Amino acid sequence: MHAIDTFNVSQFNAGLIYACPEIFLALSACAILMLDLLLRSDRRAVTGVLSVIVLLITGVLVVMQPVQGRVVALGGLFELDRMAQVLKVAMLLVVAMVFVYSIDYLRRRAILKGEYFVLGLFATLGGLVLISAGSLITLYLGLELMSLCLYAMVAFDRESGIAAESAIKYFVLGSMASGTLLYGMSVLYGVTGSLEIAQIASAAQAGLGENIGLIFGIAFVIVGIGFKLGAVPFHMWIPDVYEGSPTCVTVFIGTASKLAAFALAMRLLPEALGGSVHDWSQMLVVLSVLSMAIGNIVALAQSNIKRMLAYSTISHVGFVLLGILSGTAQGYQAAMFYMISYVLVAAGAFGMVLLLARQGFESDKLIDFKGLNARSPWFAGMMAILMFSLAGVPPFIGFWAKLGVIQAVVGVGATWLAVVAVLFSVVGAFYYLRIVKLMYFDEPAEDAVPVGGSALMRVVLSANALAVMVIGIVPGALLQICKLAIQ
């Protein structure tokens, strides 16, 4: 292996500085694990708050890293570029938000345990490693660290049968996907002779375009990515896992792991296999159209909001793939903007589900949103913003996301794909509107209680939804960030 041949200890140590946010996060997570043992069970919220602080500090560390172009460190295993930086900050922020939403929910469901936060921190660590992977080994390592933590998180409510069932489903299917991905990677290694992404890229550029082995490997890699992103036809696990997991884990899977899966796709497809863009973009066209179709149409029939949001995720993944499959820098920027904005909106939407949950009551049926405008006009307004954003109605962030990816596909001459996409987004608008309808046009049920939630959660959730509107009105800054991230 090339990386090992040129291994140099002093260079390796010098490279550690680039990984300092990850190292800090790993050490802090261990420290919090220890500390949690010493806390009384009624003081568990401290673990949560500390975890949020650690995430924010890690975020600051990431921002402070000077990045010019691309830095490859640790003997080619680690890679730091602007895209990594932006995705890491997005992931750390979103996980911090998720933790804030979860503290309240876990307390009310009487399952406030330190494991949730510690596992969450390690999953985030996995995500960061994956985002910065310079070699297939680190890529896989990060992915598995994240996935294993997520399997455990799904099952961490021991009393819940449905959660255990989902965890098994998730574990079995997820392992299969990882295996497929690993197999694809091994084929890539065989064909190109390297595990380093940069070297695979140059090998693939240099006349391997028609190599049947390479295309064979790409197919397996695509299956793995499709699984992790949740693109049709590899989406089967999504609705069941989303519905069965405790909502605070669902939101984690629906946001942080999506960012990681996006990084996985970006590192493997455009970066490592950029030379074979014609091969994989055709495969992605199929995945994308099917995801938009199945996701939007099946979501219409759901009565459980977690399941509905699961199918909605699938459809949004279809849109993200539109950006990637265009194979241009604009397309990748648009896909990245789409993913970040989707994650922001999804965090808010699941946050609303968490907010409405009560003692021994999940509040995950659509009808639980009935008459929310009469119970809390403020949060009904916030949820309406989130839903219109998911539907892609301006002036919310979701519109600019859709605009970007459509622009990308029209730019490469695939106008028909743009028309298909916008038509499915009209189908999607219907079920988002249904939530607005329930909140505004229907009266609350007899036994409805006022909306609870701690002050912190209410403030963060409101900020989350308002950000969706504010960035929707002035999207320039975030668009610019995504543009600089991928040149």
Partner 1 sequence: MSNLHLLSLLVWLPIIGGFVVLGLNRHEHGARWMSLVVSLATFLFSIPLWTGFHRGTAAMQFVERAPWIATLHADYYLGVDGISMPLILLTTFTTVLVVIASWENVSKRVAQYMASFLILEGLMNGVFASLDAALFYVLWEAMLIPMFIIIGVWGGPRRVYATIKFFLYTFIGSVLMLVALIYLYLKAGSYELAGFQHMPLTLREQTFIFLAFFAAFAVKVPMWPVHTWLPDAHVEAPTGGSVVLAAIMLKMGGYGFLRFSLPITPDASRSLDWLIIALSLIAVVYIGFVALVQRDMKKLIAYSSIAHMGFVTLGMFIAFQIVQHTGRTAGIELGLDGAVVQMLSHGLISGAMFLCVGVMYDRVHSREISAYGGVINTMPYFAAFMVLFALANSGLPGTSGFIGEFLVILASFKANVWYAFLAATILVLGAAYTLWLVKRVIFGAVANEKVAALKDLNGREFLVLGALALAVLIVGVWPAPLLDVMRASTAHLAQQLLVSKVVP
Verify binding: residue 444, partner 1, rule CB under 8 A: no
**Interaction residues for partner 1, span 366-385 (CB under 8 A):** 373, 377, 381, 384
Verify binding: residue 213, partner 1, rule CB under 8 A: no
| Tokens, residue 38 | 């010493």
Q: State in angstroms the smallest separation of the CB of 461 from partner 1.
A: 18
Beta bridge partners of 171: none
Verify binding: residue 429, partner 1, rule CB under 8 A: yes
Phi and psi, residue 190, nearest 5°? -60, -40
Verify binding: residue 475, partner 1, rule CB under 8 A: yes
**Interaction residues for partner 1, span 50-69 (CB under 8 A):** none
Cβ(340)–Cβ(254) under 8 Å?
Answer: no
Instruction: Out of 17, 172, 423, 459, name the contact with partner 1 by CB under 8 A.
Output: 423
Instruction: Out of 203, 399, 401, 460, name the contact with partner 1 by CB under 8 A.
Output: 399
Size of the site for partner 1 (CB under 8 A): 34
Verify binding: residue 415, partner 1, rule CB under 8 A: yes
From 80-88, 109-117, 318-326, 427-435, span contacting partner 1 (CB under 8 A): 427-435
Instruction: Out of 71, 87, 393, 414, name the contact with partner 1 by CB under 8 A.
Output: 393
Count of C-beta atoms within a 10 Å radius of residue 281 = 20
From 91-99, 266-274, 314-322, 478-486, span contacting partner 1 (CB under 8 A): 478-486
Which of 343, 338, 354, 249 has its CA nearest to residue 305? 354
DSSP 196: B
Q: Which is nearer to partner 1, 197 or 438 (CB)?
A: 438
From 257-265, 312-320, 360-368, 435-443, span contacting partner 1 (CB under 8 A): 435-443
Distance (Å) of CA 344 to CA 92, 225, 339, 456, 463: 12, 21, 9, 18, 11
Concatenated DSSP letters of 133-157? B-BHHHHHHHHHHHHHHHHHHHT--
Q: Which is nearer to partner 1, 31 or 474 (CB)?
A: 474
What distance, in Å, lies between the first and last C-alpha atoms of the chain? 29
Which of 128, 66, 54 has its CA nearest to residue 91? 128
Cβ(55)–Cβ(115) under 8 Å?
Answer: no
Distance (Å, rounded) from C-alpha 277 to C-alpha 269? 8
Verify binding: residue 466, partner 1, rule CB under 8 A: no
Which of 49, 19, 88, 26 has its CA nearest to residue 456? 49
Tokens 């996301």 belong to which residue?
401
Cβ(285)–Cβ(304) under 8 Å?
Answer: no
Q: Which is nearer to partner 1, 64 or 477 (CB)?
A: 477
Give residue 404's identity as a one-letter amino acid code. G
Instruction: Out of 321, 436, 457, 461, name the contact with partner 1 by CB under 8 A.
Output: 436
Helix (H, G, I), strand (E, B) or coil at 246: coil
Q: State in angstroms the smallest separation of the CB of 483 from partner 1.
A: 5
Distance (Å, rounded) from C-alpha 429 to C-alpha 396? 14
Instruction: Out of 45, 93, 173, 433, name the contact with partner 1 by CB under 8 A.
Output: 433
Instruction: Out of 440, 448, 462, 470, name the contact with partner 1 by CB under 8 A.
Output: 440
Instruction: Out of 236, 419, 449, 459, name the contact with partner 1 by CB under 8 A.
Output: 419
Q: What is the 3 state secondary structure string of 323-366?
A: HHHCCCHHHHHHHHHHHHHHHHHHHHHHHHHHHHCECCECCCEH
Distance (Å, rounded) from C-alpha 240 to C-alpha 163? 10
Cβ(354)–Cβ(251) under 8 Å?
Answer: yes
| Tokens, residue 340 | 């970040």
Q: State in angstroms the smallest separation of the CB of 434 from partner 1.
A: 8
Instruction: Out of 56, 236, 426, 445, name the contact with partner 1 by CB under 8 A.
Output: 426
Verify binding: residue 441, partner 1, rule CB under 8 A: yes
From 37-45, 53-61, 217-225, 391-399, span contacting partner 1 (CB under 8 A): 391-399
Q: Which is nearer to partner 1, 47 or 425 (CB)?
A: 425
From 53-61, 83-91, 349-357, 401-409, span contacting partner 1 (CB under 8 A): 401-409
Q: State in angstroms the smallest separation of the CB of 406 from partner 1.
A: 6
Verify binding: residue 166, partner 1, rule CB under 8 A: no
Q: Which is nearer to partner 1, 72 or 320 (CB)?
A: 320
Return residues touching partner 1 (CB under 8 A): 373, 377, 381, 384, 388, 393-395, 399, 403, 406-407, 410-411, 415, 418-419, 422-423, 425-426, 429-430, 433, 436-437, 440-441, 474-476, 479-480, 483
